[in-house]
Amino acid sequence: MDRMLLKKMVFYGYHGVFPEENKLGQKFIVDLDLRLDLSRAEASDDVNDTINYAEIHALVKEIAEGPPVKLIETLAGNIATAVLGTYTSINEATVSVTKPNPPFDITFDGVTVELRRTRS
């Protein structure tokens, strides 16, 4: 299976457990690893035979900057469900969501949740 990767997409959302997160918002970083057959696009050199990554970015942006959820696990799951539901040619989607600045008094590069979902 071929891969299409969308790396380090940055969005500003209001997700989190704490009221301050829902009010002030913060940056979220999303990575997508999509598994699909790209041989038709390779042969035709036609954008209509592939998945338009600008459209996928817009879909992820709508979710990441949309109504808040408490957990980044839920955010990642919502993204995976939307991607697989919208693009039937995608067989598997791995979604990573990083919250680089969680509201804790600790120093690290953030917390990342990665979910892998396959078409049933």
- Give the C-alpha distances (Å, rounded to integers) separating 60 from 44, 86, 95, 97: 27, 11, 10, 11
Pick from 45, 18, 6, 4: nearest CA to 101: 18
Report the domain count for the chain. Answer: 1
Residue 31 CA, distance from chain mean position: 6
The CATH number covering residue 53 comes to 3.30.1130.10
| Active site amino acids | 99
**Domain extent at residue 101:** 2-118
Tens of pLDDT, residue by residue, the chain (120 residues)? 899 999 999 999 999 999 999 999 999 999 999 999 999 999 999 999 999 999 999 999 999 999 999 999 999 999 999 999 999 999 999 999 999 988 877 778 888 999 999 987
3 state SS of 11: strand
Note if the pTM is more than 0.85: yes
